[in-house]
Chains A and B, each alone.
Chain A
Amino acid sequence: SQQGEEDPQALSIQEGENATMNCSYKTSINNLQWYRQNSGRGLVHLILIRSNEREKHSGRLRVTLDTSKKSSSLLITASRAADTASYFCATVDDSWGKLQFGAGTQVVVTP
């Protein structure tokens, strides 16, 4: 069974707009990671946020984590056509735990 659930399932935006997607999970976690996947290729790691962190930034990406609500969000600012991809959140329940993925959010950025 999947731990995380992303919302929305799909998102279509224009270049320059911001894209926000959310991830909810069920059990306590050690960390939460966001990945991007282009057209059935490998997963590209975006950000890891640990359970004692509330917000992290990496370039145009901003991730927040609210452990009390068991939720995380990924914000992509000033989106580009190259950001078109599927985005997955994955939780890890303890330091040696496996990645438990959600179903992903498909993002389409049109020029």
Chain B
Amino acid sequence: KAGVTQTPRYLIKTRGQQVTLSCSPISGHRSVSWYQQTPGQGLQFLFEYFSETQRNKGNFPGRFSGRQFSNSRSEMNVSTLELGDSALYLCASRTGAGETQYFGPGTRLLVL
């Protein structure tokens, strides 16, 4: 089975712009979660979607949003980018509650 894929892998944006990141889960996985990793804050949960519904949300400002499509693919959007949004954004998928989450390679975002 193919693993979790994320596109793009690298991205450079400037402050004030917006960005959309994409995640394709493992086939058969209906849950997709997003995490942000920075040297200062470590790994932090953004949100989780299951069957197109947001199940859980982390403590991030409203500039961070996401959605999930009927084929379980997910996108996250960050509007009005700030320098502090520079991070590795990781997507993970799982079959459902209480199961292992499998991570993709991440999208490295640099905001200048």
A residues engaging B (CB < 8 A)?
Answer: 2, 30-31, 33, 35, 40-45, 48, 50, 88, 90, 92, 95-104
Contact indicator B90/A92 (Cβ below 8 Å): no
Q: Which residues of B lie under 8 Å from residue A30 when comparing CB positions? A: 98
> Residue B18 at the A interface, CB < 8 A?
no
Q: Which residues of B lie under 8 Å from residue A103 when comparing CB positions? A: 42
**Interface extent on B, as a size class?**
20 to 34
Contact indicator B58/A98 (Cβ below 8 Å): yes
Contact indicator A33/B101 (Cβ below 8 Å): yes
B contact patch SS:
strand
> Residue B48 at the A interface, CB < 8 A?
yes
Give Cα distance in the complex from A100 to B43, angstroms: 8
Also in contact, A98 and B45, with CB within 8 A (given A30-B98, A40-B88, A43-B90): yes
A74: shortest Cβ distance to chain B, in Å? Answer: 16
- Name which residue of chain A comes closest to B33, CB basis: A98
Per-residue CB proximity of B52-64 to A under 8 Å, as 1/0?
Answer: 0001101000000
Contact indicator B106/A97 (Cβ below 8 Å): no
> Residue B70 at the A interface, CB < 8 A?
no
B31: shortest Cβ distance to chain A, in Å? Answer: 9
Contact indicator B103/A35 (Cβ below 8 Å): yes
> Residue B25 at the A interface, CB < 8 A?
no
Q: Which residues of B lie under 8 Å from residue A92 when comparing CB positions? A: 98
Give Cα distance in the complex from A96 to B35, angstroms: 15
